[in-house]
Chains A and B, each alone.
Chain A
Amino acid sequence: MTPDVERAIAAQLLAMADDELILGHRDSEWTGHGPILEEDIALSNIAQDELGHAILWHNLRKEITGDEPDVVVFWRDAQAYRNVQMVELPKGDYAFTIMRQYLFDAAEMARLAQLVESRYQPMAEVAAKIRTEEIYHTRHTSTWIKRLGLGTEESHRRTQTALDELWAYALQLFVPLPEEAALVAKGVVPEAGEVQAAWEDMVVPFLKHAGLIVPRTRHPIAMSREQHTEHLTALLAEMQEVARLESPEVRW
């Protein structure tokens, strides 16, 4: 691999790892605060899965860059994070959390389905591993979307509001990274447009089935993963606080 290709792969891995990590952190905020005990447990499990997936992507990236995952996670400031804005938004109400998780998981399923064919073997292997676990997420979130969308007037209203707020944010998941074209040409990552089409085939009929109206906007909330909301800074301050009390070399 040429240094250019390596750098582009490392950027892909960082984007995927950051999405998983930040979403996992937001999900973990429900631990001890779930609307019912079983949902508290479910969201805590999903949070733990996403952290596990972030670790897998970070470990792969380390093979290229040599960067220690703990250092990358705990010693990087908001402007160096490469997650999409959707995952950093505050957890909101339960409808918002579930809708965000559903839209994200569906996008992940669409991406992983193609990433398992990646010509970069380590990426294909990790994609296959993560994919086996995601089926439990989509089952859970889609069950809830239906229940809330077709439930009471209030649950429907909150779920529709969440969808309206999140749609443009979700579209950012399909904005190609700056050096992505070269990787698509080499068969390392799938073409973003194809992933988006597969995602829409999955979510649009389903959301309609759940009694919801899919927003019409085609414009992602942001075109670059370098742009963040103010929420990321607050999230990182909390997430990194304990680690930063010590030097990066401290072994826990």
Chain B
Amino acid sequence: MVTLTVEEIWQALEEVKDPEIPVVSLVEMGIIRRVEVSGGTIVVSMTPTFAGCPALHVMKAEVEQRLREMGAESVETKWVYSPPWTSDWIADEARAKLKAFGLAPPVKHSGDVNLILLEEAACPYCGSRNTTIKNTFGPTLCRAIYYCDDCRQPFEQFKPL
């Protein structure tokens, strides 16, 4: 039986990507909250972005699978809700990756998600802030749809939450 250290586990989880945004990892997204090793069992605490996200099952399964590949025998994943996930936890490197992927990163809000915030999105293609929100709902729960009035491209933003 392989004994993994907490550091090794965090490193391995860096390779588990968000199923809906495969350019960023669950660690970078702030979804993995805590890793503990106790008595040979690895316990990974995760927090959902949106409660109804259909990718939650996939995330859980992929975390477990990655750690089993590393030789872990006993892996437990659990969802925690407190504190609730906020888009502020998305790491800066991940924000750059989201942008390169064509998805505007969410505006940082320090805990105060208000409606004015939602009006603000920088076009991931040309950087313009001259953009218009078209729909607060998009192809997945975590995305809103915008239009860039400068480069005339529709684009999506990861919603501030």
Contact = CB atoms under 8 A, between A and B. Distances in A.
Interface in B80-123: 81-86, 113-115, 118
Q: At the interface, is chain A mostly helix, strand, loop or mixed?
A: helix
A48 B52 contact: yes
Given A45-B141, A133-B51, A135-B115, A128 B81 contact: yes
Given A49-B52, A130-B51, A56 B81 contact: yes
A129 B136 contact: no
B82 A51 contact: no
A48 B83 CA distance: 22
A52 B115 contact: no
Contacts, number: 70
Size category of the B interface is 20 to 34
A126 interface: yes
B50 interface: yes
Contacts of A45: 137-138, 141
Interface string A129-143: 110110110011000
Q: At the interface, is chain B mostly helix, strand, loop or mixed?
A: loop
Given A41-B137, A42-B135, A140-B136, A135 B113 contact: yes
Nearest to A53: B51
Nearest to A52: B52
A126 B137 CA distance: 22
A52 B136 CA distance: 18
8 contacts: A52-B50, A52-B53, A124-B82, A125-B82, A126-B81, A129-B81, A130-B51, A133-B51
Interface of B: 48, 50-54, 81-86, 113-115, 118, 134-139, 141, 145, 159, 161
Given A132-B84, A140-B137, 8 more contacts: A38-B145, A41-B138, A48-B54, A49-B52, A52-B50, A125-B81, A129-B48, A135-B115
